[in-house]
Amino acid sequence: MSNTDSTHAKPRRITIPFILDLITVSEPDQIQKIETSGDVDRLHAYDTKSLPLWIKRYFKSTKFHDDKRDLWFCPFESASNPTYQPRRNYLQEKVDTGYSQEDVKKIAQLLKTNAKNEVLAHEMVQVVNQRFFGEEIPQRITELAKDTVQSFTEVISPFRYRRGIKAQEQIMDYCEQKLPSHAHILDVGHNIGEVVQATAGALRKLKDNLDEPVEEIFTLNAPTPQVPRIAIKSSTFDGLLSSPTKPGKSVLIFKISEAAAKTKDIFFTFGVGRKERACVFQDFFVKFMQDLQRELKQD
């Protein structure tokens, strides 16, 4: 199908001169075309100080960036960054140590007894993240982890914005104190937030859909709505845009949850529809949810 196919919505673009150039893409084939074009990269392909101001302001209130130490979560690093591959490998190795059937039973029990979201999130954080710390992650941290900002609209509220910044600072300080020195504190700290913000809701979705295949549930209800990229070359992506991107200035937002629902491809739930650079947690997540579904169906 050609990229001028009229059934395909074109990317949407909002430009405010010198302040913002934001391009939103939700068609799965356009996302993949742009991702593989070589004309975009991860945000931290540029030094933090040279990124658009709104990016720096927004991301310091999220779980993806540590403003004080200038750290970014692994998927925000260009593959050409020498720290990228070892960081990914470390997380992958840790995640691949898996989970126990006791973990599955514990979460199933909480779901069956309608435990509160905070309790569910706290326990799920232990299942996924205790392996990095070697000890229980305190309630104080799992509660703070729900406060980091999750969407652009949230920062309209100064209260939520400031609360997000503060939560992120405290989580990072905790990670710095408790993690072994070879661990990347942002990569690990991020995952506490991801589990609190995404996995607890996902568990409830699973409970409501015990007879549907896990991959179908989580392509129709993908927890991550979107991921960002930044232009590194001037490009219209073969005519998809009417005027070219500006390197280091134009930011692209890939609407991956919409793409996951359209394609039913779980690689859009955990990335941009391809194996390369897919989330290291994908297999763990799918297997855990399948085991949990079986356990929940037992009575």
Residues interacting with ligand HEM, by CB under 6 A?
74-75, 88, 91, 95, 128, 191, 194-195, 198-199, 202, 223-224, 227, 256, 270-272, 277, 279-281, 285
The upper half-sphere exposure of residue 4, i.e. CA atoms within 13 Å in the direction of its Cβ, equals: 4
Q: How far is the CB of 123 from ligand HEM (least distance, A)?
A: 14
Q: How far is the CB of 87 from ligand HEM (least distance, A)?
A: 7
Q: Tokens representing 147? A: 């406060």
Q: How far is the CB of 162 from ligand HEM (least distance, A)?
A: 26
Q: How far is the CB of 79 from ligand HEM (least distance, A)?
A: 8
Q: Which is nearer to ligand HEM, 168 or 199 (CB)?
A: 199
Sequence letter at residue 33: K
The three-class DSSP label of residue 24 is strand
Q: How far is the CB of 157 from ligand HEM (least distance, A)?
A: 24
Q: Which is nearer to ligand HEM, 199 or 293 (CB)?
A: 199
How many angstroms separate the CA atoms of 178 and 181, rounded? 9
Give the DSSP per-residue string, 48-108.
Answer: GGGS-HHHHHHHTTSTTEETTTTEE-GGGS-TTSTTHHHHHHHHHHHHHT---HHHHHHHH
Q: Which is nearer to ligand HEM, 195 or 240 (CB)?
A: 195
Q: Which is nearer to ligand HEM, 36 or 239 (CB)?
A: 36
Q: Which is nearer to ligand HEM, 6 or 100 (CB)?
A: 100
